[in-house]
Amino acid sequence: MPGWRSFRDVMTETHFMRYWRYACIPGIFGGVEEAELDENGRTAVFNALQVLLEACVRTWQDHWNPGTYICVDESMIFWRGGGEVLVLYQPRKPTEYGIEMKTAACAESSLCLHAELTEGKVRDAEKEYRDQVGQSTAVTLRLTKLWAGSGRVVIADSFYGSCQTAEWLMDELGLYCILAVKTGHRGFPKQRLIQQVQGARFTKAFMKVDVELEVGRTTFFAGGFMDKRPLLLVGSCGTSIDAEEVTRDRREWMDGSFRTSRYRVRQPVMHDTYRRNFNAVDLFNRDCFGEHSLQMTVKTRSWHRRYFLALLGMCETNAMKAYRHQVKHITRWDWLVLLSDKLINNPYLEQEASSSGEGSSGAADDRPGPSRRRECGN
């Protein structure tokens, strides 16, 4: 089909607006915003959207049991205007400017399971764990505390990676981790590892230390591996044994253009595990906040409309991820066609209409609920 593919290609705006009316939060889209502030300095609009976000998170968590690995990263909702939200710049995201959310996703299905709005330095300092640890550690603990004691492994990039985060995940939540380390290297043998691996490609170096925590003596590993550049990791699981050989792509600027080449590499299990799972949130962001996302379907100058559409799009993307994992792989376009068809020809609306009719015995509601919880890897 010619042209770019989006929701406008499969559903008319008139039909979309019918669903829009039912999805609206009272007091937000019907007219003037509520200007009065509560004791926390927030309007009723902001509080209503926060309640919606929390309800979405509970629904995702009730209906999906993640696999072994939980990935923590950031998501960006496109927005360049004003409002009650904090607008930030994050390079290398599908939308670089916008409203930032800290998110946690199942690494196996790249399905989003937790999201938290970034509200600024002052308000974020009042959140849980912040009075005990730094910002990145506190965010990681809040996003993953639901799975405390489950023995899962938290995968995160250098914004969250530090020795402190690794210790608190094990001590406070009983979770293992593999974290990248760059700037937050206090207590981490960064320079020693770099000196050992920067001499030649495909070299590795590992160190370990036993730390006394409340849960008992725990062994932490610090590892470095030299590929294109040194990758330094800290973790409470994984080994230095080489994993299976994999093929990687490399792009280099040569003679005025990029040249792509492929090469084979065998890296340690710890680094191989990190590379296989660290981009789960990025895969979610690509489908949810990219050019063809639901948030781009309706143009608006109101921050709350864009935020609301983004939350709706996160639910839609999660549904697609679950369908791909549990039923079959489906392209983004085919998913939009399937979803639009189910919304237009909604069998549940017909059941509700027939059950509310006079003299009707009613139709059984077979919609999936918490008892039909899906699991990764099972």
Count the domains in the chain: 1
Residue 62: pLDDT over 70:
yes
Residue 22: pLDDT over 60:
no
Q: Quick one: tokens of 170?
A: 């094990």
**H runs (alpha helix) in 216-302:** 269-277, 280-288
Q: How many Å apart are CA 287 and CA 167, to the nearest integer?
A: 33
Residue 170 in domain = no
pLDDT at res. 374? 64
pLDDT at res. 356? 58
Place of tokens 């981009």: 279
pLDDT at res. 235? 92
- Interval 216-227: pLDDT, tens: 778 889 999 998
Residue 100: strand pairing partners:
76
Residue 90 pLDDT class (50, 70, 90 cuts): confident
Residue 325 in domain = yes
pLDDT at res. 253? 78
For residue 42, the SS3 value is coil
Average pLDDT over residues 7-12: 63
Q: Which residue has the higher pLDDT, 163 or 299?
A: 163
- Interval 323-336: pLDDT, tens: 999 999 998 889 98
Residue 369 pLDDT class (50, 70, 90 cuts): very low
Residue 295: pLDDT over 90:
no
- Interval 124-134: pLDDT, tens: 999 999 999 98
Q: What is the mean pLDDT of the chain?
A: 83
Q: How many Å apart are CA 104 and CA 29, to the nearest integer?
A: 29
Residue 360: pLDDT over 60:
no
Structural domain including 151 reads 7-157+278-344+371-375
Q: Which of 31-45, 51-65, 107-121, 193-207 has the lowest mean pLDDT?
A: 31-45
Q: How far is CA 235 from CA 103, 161, 201, in A?
A: 20, 9, 22
- Interval 228-285: pLDDT, tens: 889 999 999 988 899 998 888 877 777 788 888 888 889 999 999 999 999 999 999 9
Residue 201 in domain = no
Residue 12 in domain = yes
pLDDT at res. 364? 43
pLDDT at res. 215? 65
Q: Which residue has the higher pLDDT, 59 or 348?
A: 59
Residue 165: pLDDT over 80:
yes
Residue 352: pLDDT over 70:
no
pLDDT at res. 82? 83
pLDDT at res. 91? 82
- Interval 112-149: pLDDT, tens: 999 999 998 888 999 999 999 989 999 999 999 999 99
Residue 354 in domain = no
pLDDT at res. 227? 86
Residue 206 in domain = no
Three-state helix/strand/coil letters over 22-33: HHCCCCCCCCCC
Residue 329 in domain = yes
Average pLDDT over residues 97-107: 94
Residue 358: pLDDT over 70:
no
Q: Which of 228, 221, 262, 223 has its CA nearest to residue 245?
A: 262
pLDDT at res. 35? 55
Q: Which of 88-97, 189-198, 208-217 has the lowest mean pLDDT?
A: 208-217
**H runs (alpha helix) in the chain:** 13-23, 44-63, 121-124, 135-144, 163-168, 190-197, 269-277, 280-288, 303-326, 332-344, 347-355
Question: Cα 44 from chain centroid?
Answer: 27
Identify the top-confidence range among 12-16, 58-62, 214-218: 58-62
Q: Quick one: tokens of 118?
A: 């970034």
Residue 241 in domain = no
pLDDT at res. 201? 85
Residue 30: pLDDT over 60:
no
Q: Which of 18-22, 138-142, 151-155, 208-212 has the lowest mean pLDDT?
A: 18-22
pLDDT at res. 198? 85
Q: How many Å apart are CA 224 and CA 190, to the nearest integer?
A: 9
Average pLDDT over residues 357-361: 47
Q: How many Å apart are CA 367 and CA 378, to the nearest integer?
A: 21
